[in-house]
Structure 1
Amino acid sequence: MQTKKIRPADTYAPLYFLVSLGTGGLVVTFFMWLMHWVPHPGRSVPLFEDIVAAFSSGDLMMRSMIVIALIGIAWFSFQNLRYLAWNLRRYHRWKQTEAYTRLRSTNAETQLLAMPLAMAMSVNVCFMLGMVFVPGLWNVVEYLFPLALLAFLGIGVLALQLLGQFLGRVLVTGGFSCTDNNSFAQAMPAFALAMIGVGLAAPAGLSANRIVAGAGLVFSTFFLIAAALIGGIALILGLRSLLENGANIETAPTFSVFIPLLTILGILSLRQSHGLDEHFALAGSAADRLMLLSQYLSAQLLCLLLAALVLVRLHYFARFLVGREISAGSYALVCPGVALAVMLHFWLNRGLVDAGLIGKFSVSYWIISGLAMLFQFATIWLVATLNRRHFGTTDQ
Structure 2
Amino acid sequence: MKLRILLGTLGFLGWVTSCTQTPSVVDAKSGGLEAPPPTAAVDYPVPAAAGPDTLARLAIRHHPSIAAARHRAERLDAKVPQESALPDPTLEVAAGSMAETAAGRMEAMGAVKQKIPFPGKRREAAAAASSEASAARAEIKALELKLTEQVHAAWWDLHLTEQTLRLTRESKSLLESMSDTVDARVAAGQANQSDQLRLANEVGLIDRDLLEARQLGNTARARLNSLLNRPAGSKLSIAGDAPIPSAGSLASLLARAEARHPEVAAAQRKSDAFRHRLKRAELERFPDVTAGLAGASISSSGLAPMANGRDQVYGTLGVNIPLWQEPRRAMIREAGEGIAETEAMVAAARSDLRYRVEDAWFRATTARDVVDLFENRLIPDALQTYEVTLTGYSAGTSDLNGLVETWRQLLAYQLQLARNRAQLGKATATLRAAAAID
Shorter-chain TM range is under 0.3
Q: TM-score, normalised by structure 1?
A: 0.27
Higher helix share goes to which structure? Answer: 1
**Relative contact order (C-alpha < 8 Å, sep 6+): which is higher?**
2
Higher strand share goes to which structure? Answer: 2
